[in-house]
Structure formats: structure tokens, C-alpha cells
Amino acid sequence: MIRLFETHEIRPSRELEGLWEFHPVGREGEIPERMDYRLPVPGCWETHPDLGTYRGVGLYRTTVNLDRKTNLRLEFKGVSHTADVYVDGSRIAHHYNAYTSFEAVVPNVEPGEHEIRLYADNSFSERSALHIANDYYTYGGPIRPIVLEEVGDVHIDRVSFTPEWHNGLWQGKWRAIVRNIGSEARETQLILGLDGLHSVREKLFVEPGASVLFERTETYGGAREWSPERPTLYKLRAELAEGERKCDDWIDRVGFRRVDTEGGRLRINGQPVLLKGVNRHEDHAICGASFSFADLLRDIELIRDLGCNSVRTSHYPSDERFLDLCDEFGLLVWEENHARGLTEEEMRNPRFKPQSEQVTREMVEQHGNRPSIVIWAVLNECASHTAYGRTVYESELALIRDLDPSRPRSFASMHRDRDLCFDLVDIVSFNVYPGWYTDEEPAELLQQAKQWADRLGGAGKPVIFSEFGADGYYGFRSRDRVKGSEERQSDILDANLKAYLSGDSPLAGVYVWQFGDCRVSEATNWLMSRGCTRNSKGLVDGYRRPKLAYDTVKAHFRGEKGGAASPAPTVPGAAPERT
């Protein structure tokens, strides 16, 4: 399943889902004598009994049949972590980073059978600045869907739609890119519209080998708002026509809502909201990082059951289908680029800047149409406390502002009163672990954090506690409530939430670390060693079995412990309003 809706009704498109041949190889480009395995695509090789800890390069191979001459466009929604794609023996794409999509276009492919070879590499080396041994696991393989499309010489590359509230009316700012991969200049008609609302039509002239950017702001008088309580979605439809014949389309979903941080509060459509959420790694004890739709939906239902109105995609962009579900159910999303805990030295790896900026750019360009995303964030727990680190935060936050000025930006800091970057963001966020790594009083820590924010450039900005939590090993029970037991995890979260959700709390949001236990890299130093090679701070374990802390957090988030309640979740199974 590619998305929750058809992304093309005119352009021929299908998912290359199924069983592909597989074999571990020594390096990208190598052709082994035999292909011993058959693996599922999408999937990660760790699900095969022989390959549970394999780290290296793997070759996936399949063939496709085309019944006419065409321009082939392959879209890879996520290959972990470095991908090289060959079609009929020629290398046509290279991409780094598991969590954003990329394309490979081959013009003028003859009818008949064609071979696709995908090399996926999940190894760690100097060449990889973001995927390193870490407190989560880098799986291997095409963890997200692969799509085959047939495109004309002139086709739609990308469309962005940004809702704006202007003098009491909704407007939409369109940016559409149309490209011509053929050898002749072409004239085409671009039609842009939202189903149920009006559309616009424009004649474009596209030179061979070039792209044209079309921009237009339209007013939508009758548009209905997207909000967490009523997540109204509109189908965005971009089409190309030659005369009366429609020859290409590109479909997405959008919603009309605005986000701001006026008065030090996070506001959606002018209404202050308190974000109550969980941090979610895309990791599951059985399917690794490659989720079926049913597994994604189960996570969403558990998050909604917890009384959350928000989720943070720690520490990388999420699967598109997960974000589709957030759009659909009105969950507010903090989405962040890919990084966790990089030191200044690691940020000085010459690969870091280009790789990190690329993920940031791809994240905003690929997910920017989604109403559910209300915060963009960068560089979780990296060196925001050093002068060099600050230059990196500054340039990445500026990049986001250039790409999308409509959403507030943040980063999750662990540097407390030593942070140098609070003046660069719209929302100041702290990762704190009272009761687990430190023995502070949560309420006192909260007052201190507010002072650090005020003093260090964050005065007047919303403050979020983006992480707090404790380990709890599923099934480990203790009358003495010792550290690591489910009881102690529950006690620590109870104490944290009591302080953070109290009536006079200055916080704009809280995100429990974390939703589900996740696998971690095997550590080479004792400090990073985690029991069971897992981060066990989940409210559910890797199989989604709730721990004691689940109900504790649920009671707080649903306002049963005296704090503020989240908006009532929509009735399970009821279809959200949509046009």
C-alpha cells in the first residue's frame, strides 16, 4: 500500500511489492554468483532468520514487464540507509538516508522485461554521518514501498500548497513544478484544484530538459478548517492537459489550518493547544523498521487511546502512511530531520552538513502539504551548546524558514543552561529525565527550565518538554518498585506528568519518551550498553503490549488525574470529515 489514497488516476502507477531475490554482497555494484534468498519488499532483511544482525550491503533484484515504450519513473519511499539503483545494468540513482524518498527516472525504455537491482547498505563508516551506531537501530533494505510509474516527457514533478489566513478568508499558496525530460520544447495546460472547490488553469511552455515553476495564490471562500477535533481534508489534484486530453496527474491531500506562537502559546487556528504526546521510533519487535499498514494503524490507535493529541517523529521523518493517518485523525505532528546525539566532532565530519541538509530539504519538500505537521525540528540533542554547533543549527533552521515559513521551528536540547541556540527557534524544547538520569524534583526543574529559556534567548516563546521517561522492562515487576521495573517507570512518569500538566504549568507541550521499546545498536562501549539491546522506556513493548505506565500516562492525558484533558478523540471507526 503506497498511501491512504490514490496518488495518480491518470499516470500509470503500481507498487513493486512482493518477493524479490536477495543476497548479501561485499560492495555496491557486485553481482553474486547466486541469489540465495527471497525477501519481502517492502521489508528489512533482519526479519530473515539468517540475517537478524547482518550489517553490510545487500542486493535486491527483480524484473518488471512493460507493454509499451515509456519513460520509467521509480520512486523509493525509503531505503535503509544508502541506496544504489541499477536498471538493465546501468546505475541510475544513488541516495543516502533511510527516511526520505527519492526517484530514479529512465527515459525511453523499450517494451519487454527489465531488471531492477537495488543495493542497500546499512553499514557504519565515515561516509555516513547520520546513520551511526546509536540508541535506535539502522535496519537494512527497502523499508518503505517502491513505486513504478510511467511518465510522459512533460509531467508534474511536485506541487506544494500552503494554507494562509488572510483578512478572515482562507487562501492557498500554490507552487507547482512541471518538467520536460524529452528533447523538444512543449506547451501544456496545468490545472490545479481542490476537489469540491474551484480550480485554476494555466498555459505553460517547457523547454527540453528543463522545469517550470508556477506560483499562484488563490482565495477559497467556502473552505472548511482542518483542526484536531474536525480534521477536514481536501483532495489536491494537479493535472496536465494537451487540448482536451488529460495526460498526467498528481494527487495529494491538504487541509486549511494555521499555526502560530503568539503570546508564548502554540496556537492552531488561533486557539491555544497543549500538546500531549509521545515520541515514536519507527521500530517494531517483529517487522523492524518496515511497517505494514495494519501495524501503523495499530500504533495510531494506541496513541489515540492514550489520550495523546500529538506525536513526535523521533529522530527522523516518518513513513508517509503514518503521516496520512495523522492527517486523517487530527493528530498534531512534530516532525524532525534525522540526527540523534551527534557531538561537535561528529558534526564536523565533512559529510554531515550535506547529508543533514539534504534530509531537511527532502523532509520539508515531501511532507510540507500535511496539515497534521505543526512543528519542524532539527538535530535532536546535537552540539547546540558550542559555537560551531550553533552555526549548523542556524543554517538548518534558516533553510527550513526558506522552504516553509508557515510552521514554527524547534529542536530538542539536552544542554539546559549551556545551550546557545534558543534565540534561533520559535519554540524552546528540553529533553529532561528527572527521576531517571537525575534526581531533581520535576516541578523545580520545570521552573528552572523556564528561567533558562527566558535568559538564553527564548523569552516569550512557548516551551516544550520534548522528552522525559524511564526504563521499564516489560514483565519485570517489583514490590520494592526498583529501577527498571514497570512499577518504577510508572511512578516516574506519574511524578513528571503531575508537575508538567498542573493548572499553572507554563508548558506548551509534553512528549513522553517513548511510545514503544526500540532495538538499539550493539554498543562498543559499556556506557551505551542497554539491557536486551533495547531502549526500554516504551509505554508499550516492541510487540505493543502495554506496560503499567501506559495506564498512568493515559489517566494524565485524559485529565483523570486533575490535569487538563485532551480534546475527545473522534469515535473509533467514524470516518473523519472529508471532501
Q: Which is nearer to ligand ADA, 138 or 431 (CB)?
A: 431
Task: Report the half-sphere exposure of 271 (CA within 13 A, side-chain side).
Answer: 11
Q: Which is nearer to ligand ADA, 135 or 319 (CB)?
A: 135
Query: Hey, what's the cell of 434?
Result: 528527572
Q: Which is nearer to ligand ADA, 22 or 513 (CB)?
A: 513
Using CB under 6 A, pick the residue from 153, 328, 467, 486 that binds ligand ADA.
Answer: 467
Binding flag, residue 535, ligand ADA (CB under 6 A): yes
Binding flag, residue 338, ligand ADA (CB under 6 A): no
Q: Which is nearer to ligand ADA, 1 or 532 (CB)?
A: 532
Q: Which is nearer to ligand ADA, 75 or 283 (CB)?
A: 283
CB of 342 to ligand ADA, least distance (A): 11
One symbol per residue from 128 to 157: x for binding ligand ADA (CB under 6 A), - otherwise; what is it? -------x----------------------
Binding flag, residue 340, ligand ADA (CB under 6 A): yes
Binding flag, residue 489, ligand ADA (CB under 6 A): no
In the sheet that 146-151 helps form, which strands lie side by side, from edge to edge?
A: 13-15, 146-151, 70-76, 102-109
What is the Cα–Cα distance from 464 to 451, expressed in whole angstroms? 13
What is the Cα–Cα distance from 157 to 567, expressed in whole angstroms? 38
Binding flag, residue 380, ligand ADA (CB under 6 A): yes
In the sheet that 507-512 helps form, which strands lie side by side, from edge to edge?
A: 409-410, 373-377, 332-336, 310-313, 275-279, 507-512, 463-467, 428-431, 412-413
Binding flag, residue 396, ligand ADA (CB under 6 A): no
Binding flag, residue 521, ligand ADA (CB under 6 A): no
CB of 414 to ligand ADA, least distance (A): 6
CB of 412 to ligand ADA, least distance (A): 6
Binding flag, residue 381, ligand ADA (CB under 6 A): yes
CB of 431 to ligand ADA, least distance (A): 4
CB of 511 to ligand ADA, least distance (A): 10
Q: Which is nearer to ligand ADA, 2 or 414 (CB)?
A: 414
Using CB under 6 A, pick the residue from 280, 370, 537, 558 that binds ligand ADA.
Answer: 537
Q: Which is nearer to ligand ADA, 135 or 225 (CB)?
A: 135
Complete DSSP assignment for 77-143: S--BSEEEEEETTEEEEEEE-TTS-EEEEEEEEPSEEEEEEEEEE---STT-SSS-S-SS----B--
CB of 256 to ligand ADA, least distance (A): 33
What is the Cα–Cα distance from 554 to 307, expressed in whole angstroms? 6
Q: Grid coordinates 534561533 are at which residue?
A: 424
Q: Which helix (H) or strand (E) holds 151?
A: strand 146-151
Q: Which is nearer to ligand ADA, 254 or 446 (CB)?
A: 446
Binding flag, residue 558, ligand ADA (CB under 6 A): no
Query: Where does 304-366 show beta strands of DSSP type E?
Result: 310-313, 332-336
Binding flag, residue 541, ligand ADA (CB under 6 A): no
Q: Please enumerate in sequence order all residues whose Cβ is within 8 A of that of 465, keeping only pairs 6 or more positions apart, or say none.
A: 429, 430, 431, 432, 446, 449, 500, 507, 509, 510, 511
User: 377: closest CA among 316, 456, 331?
Assistant: 316
Q: Residue 333 in contact with residue 537, Cβ under 8 Å?
A: no
Q: Which is nearer to ligand ADA, 467 or 487 (CB)?
A: 467
Backbone angles phi, psi at 364, to 5 degrees: -70, -40
Cα–Cα distances (Å) from 508 to 306, 462, 480, 511, in that order, read 18, 6, 34, 11
CB of 133 to ligand ADA, least distance (A): 12
How big is the site for ligand ADA, counted in residues (CB under 6 A)?
9
Q: Which is nearer to ligand ADA, 40 or 469 (CB)?
A: 469
CB of 43 to ligand ADA, least distance (A): 25
Nearest residue to ligand ADA, using CB?
135
Q: Residue 352 in contact with residue 346, Cβ under 8 Å?
A: yes
CB of 112 to ligand ADA, least distance (A): 48
Using only the alpha carbons of the chain, give its radius of gyration. 24
CB of 467 to ligand ADA, least distance (A): 5
Q: Which is nearer to ligand ADA, 325 or 382 (CB)?
A: 382
Q: How many CB atoms lie within 10 A of CB 558?
A: 18
CB of 274 to ligand ADA, least distance (A): 21
CB of 536 to ligand ADA, least distance (A): 9
Q: What angle do CA 340, 341, 342 make, to 5 degrees?
A: 100
Binding flag, residue 513, ligand ADA (CB under 6 A): yes
Q: Please enumerate in sequence order all residues whose Cβ is within 8 A of that of 202, keeping only pairs 6 or more positions apart, or say none.
A: 189, 190, 192, 214, 216
Q: Which is nearer to ligand ADA, 268 or 470 (CB)?
A: 470
Instruction: List, in sequence order, every residue forming a beta bridge with 559; answer none if it has no partner.
Output: none
Helical H runs in 454-513? 486-500
Using CB under 6 A, pick the residue from 160, 431, 490, 552 that binds ligand ADA.
Answer: 431
CB of 380 to ligand ADA, least distance (A): 5
Q: Is 168 left (phi over 0), alpha (psi -120 to 50) or beta?
A: left
Q: Which is nearer to ligand ADA, 180 or 431 (CB)?
A: 431
Query: Hey, what's the cell of 239?
Result: 493535472
Per CB under 6 A, residues contacting ligand ADA are 135, 340, 380-381, 431, 467, 513, 535, 537
